[in-house]
Amino acid sequence: MQRVKVVNMMSMALEGIKVIDLTRLAPGPYCTMFLADLGADVIKIEPGGGRAAIAFLPQTAEEEESRRAYNAEERNKKSIVLNLKMEEAQKIFYKLAEKADVIIEEFRPGVVKRLGVDYETISKMNPRIVYCSLTGYGQDGPYRELAGHDVNYISLGGAQSILGEPGGRPVVPTNIIADYAAGGMHAAIGILAALLARERTGKGQHVDIAMLDGVVSLMHSEAASYFSTGQVPGLGHILMFSGAPHYGVYQTKDGKYISLGALEPWFYENLCRALGREDFIPYQWTGGEKWEEIASAFRQIFLTKTRDEWVEILRQTDTCAAPVYSLDEAFSDPQVLHRNMVVEIEHPTLGKVKQVGISIKLSETPGAIRSMAPRPGQHTEEILLDLGYAKEEIEELRKTGAIA
């Protein structure tokens, strides 16, 4: 496990890129975490007045301090509280936007226009702005106004129809697929692509990211099989190797599970030999009753040893197998630790706290953890002073409720 200090780093990949973050929950903060980890100067605009997305947050000051300490999504960012329904706060936002490279928001279409901070308005002030709108269904189309969350996007995108055991019910795989992969990661890729294009054209652009689009994109392999064969996969079935006994999960003697992914012939042969069933080698892709026979045999064989015993055996035979880990096991795995995907950070009051590490590894301009998640409004005064506001003006803005 890597122990890191909160430090200031130079020569980072996105050093000098200024990002205004209007997002609140899951996909947006995850996107700007990537940008901040790689050196961007990210300023979170916290809501002032009106409805805030705080339903899931702890209530006591101690719980809130702990939540921030362990919150990787908001590290490396600064925070300012602005009530954008007030003209004085809008003016502050415009000053920030004039110097910004990126703005990202995840409101329903039309909200930022009502607040006066939409792409059309900002791009007139700053034609180089890369403005990302991250929503469930996108900025146009019949669903653009609909509310939704991760589970709705994966169900509409077809992903949920294959998540689960054959004959069972669809499962909800937390919010990894739509929020983080289809949403946050797609947004980060879109923003970086637009920044790169700006180097050639000198102009910014609007990046329209829909989580439904992202889910459909993630289903590209299943889509290719469906488009070519017309066969629709069901729960637990992947068209390319639906029902294959050498691609799936098996329970072991200790009640735990092991995963197999022996698709290539040589991996499948090694698997059969390790399980003492060389007679199955000629039948890798026969399907039908033979696959049922092989799967039944595999189920019985895997029940004869513990998960870790099987992992040790199969890792010595060069086949594709891995333990199905609980989260505590995953964060103790030697490969995960070696890759610094669990880091310890010194917190001023809580001591050492753990966070997920930085997944993008760059040889020359690596990312770094430079600061913990900020308190709402922690950097309001610092940011306003940098914009040229006098202390007296800042105090007056506080009194009016434009800032907090």
149 part of the active site: yes
Report d(CA 36, CA 339) in Å as an integer. 20
CA 20-176-67 angle, 5° bins: 60
- Is residue 350 classed exposed, middle or buried when 0-12, 13-18 and 19+ CB atoms within 10 A define those classes? middle
DSSP string, 109-123: TTHHHHHT-SHHHHH
Q: Residues for the chain: how many in total? A: 404
84 membership: H or E segment, kind and range: none
41 part of the active site: no
**Candidates 21, 37, 41, 179; catalytic one:** 179
SS3 content of the chain, % helix, strand, coil (to 5): 45, 15, 40
- Is residue 289 classed exposed, middle or buried when 0-12, 13-18 and 19+ CB atoms within 10 A define those classes? exposed
Residues 122/97, Cβ–Cβ less than 8 Å: yes
Question: Which residue is listed with tokens 């949403």?
Answer: 183
**Candidates 149, 206, 208, 347; catalytic one:** 149
Report d(CA 362, CA 69) in Å as an integer. 25
| Number of Cβ atoms within 10 Å of the Cβ of 399 | 9
- Say how many CA atoms lie within 13 Å of 376 toward its Cβ: 18
Which residues are annotated as catalytic? Answer: 149, 179
